[in-house]
């Protein structure tokens, strides 16, 4: 089943190919590094992408939990659909003319790759907690609703402090 889903490297290569094919519609940038030094990639999609920051925006993030591989796939397929159909689908054209879509296909590349190669039920990132355990549940690491947990081995460990 793992072969049915792209690796993070394949996703990054796909994004780079999209920029080459559709330079006026998509730009990509790293919005940070992971614990294992992977880039967290952001795709900005809009008609006339240079002015994207001037339009109303929507943010889509995929694969915040490492084992939810489908989030990355959905994001990649959504990007591909938008880019291939903007010139033939009036709704897509209207959306990209009036708005900007910010898409992070995989918010948790380290955990995602670990779950693909070691333990498919892995949920967290790969942060070294310093006590022999690894990972923070990124979905519970926001300042709103943050609940401090001291059990670093827990699947829902929210980290030492909010993001």
**Domain ranges for the chain:** 2-112, 127-163
What is the band of 36 on the pLDDT scale with cuts at 50, 70, 90? Answer: very high
- Please check the confidence at residue 155 and state whether its pLDDT lies above 60: yes
Residue 26 has phi, psi (to 5 degrees) of -140, 140
Report the CATH fold assignment for 2-112: Aminopeptidase (3.40.630)
Asked if 71 and 62 count as a contact pair (C-beta separation under 8 A), the reply is: yes
Choice among 53-62, 72-81, 90-99, 153-162 with the minimum mean pLDDT:
153-162
pTM of the model: 0.93
Query: Quick one: which of 26, 38, 112, 23 has its CA closest to 73?
Result: 112
Asked if 63 and 107 count as a contact pair (C-beta separation under 8 A), the reply is: yes
- Please check the confidence at residue 27 and state whether its pLDDT lies above 60: yes
Asked if 20 and 14 count as a contact pair (C-beta separation under 8 A), the reply is: no
Distance CA 70, CA 113 (A): 13
pLDDT of residue 150: 84
Average pLDDT value for residue range 86-103? 98
What is the band of 45 on the pLDDT scale with cuts at 50, 70, 90? Answer: very high
pLDDT digits (tens, 9 = 90+) for 49-77: 999 999 999 999 999 999 999 999 999 99
């Amino acid at each position: 089943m793992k072969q049915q889903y792209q690796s993070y490297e394949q996703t990054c290569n796909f994004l780079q190919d999209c920029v080459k094919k559709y330079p006026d519609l998509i730009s990509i940038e790293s919005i940070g590094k992971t614990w294992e030094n992977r880039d967290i990639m952001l795709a900005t999609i809009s008609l006339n992408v240079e002015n994207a920051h001037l339009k109303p925006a929507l943010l889509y993030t995929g694969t915040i939990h490492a084992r939810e591989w489908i989030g990355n796939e959905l994001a990649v397929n959504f990007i591909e659909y938008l880019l291939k159909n903007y010139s033939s689908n009036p709704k897509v054209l209207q959306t990209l003319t009036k708005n900007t879509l910010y898409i992070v296909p995989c918010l948790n590349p380290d955990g995602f790759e670990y779950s693909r190669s070691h333990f498919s039920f892995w949920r967290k990132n790969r942060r070294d907690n310093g006590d022999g355990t690894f990972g923070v549940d990124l979905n519970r690491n926001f300042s709103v609703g943050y609940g401090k947990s001291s059990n670093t081995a827990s699947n829902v460990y929210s980290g030492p402090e909010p993001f």
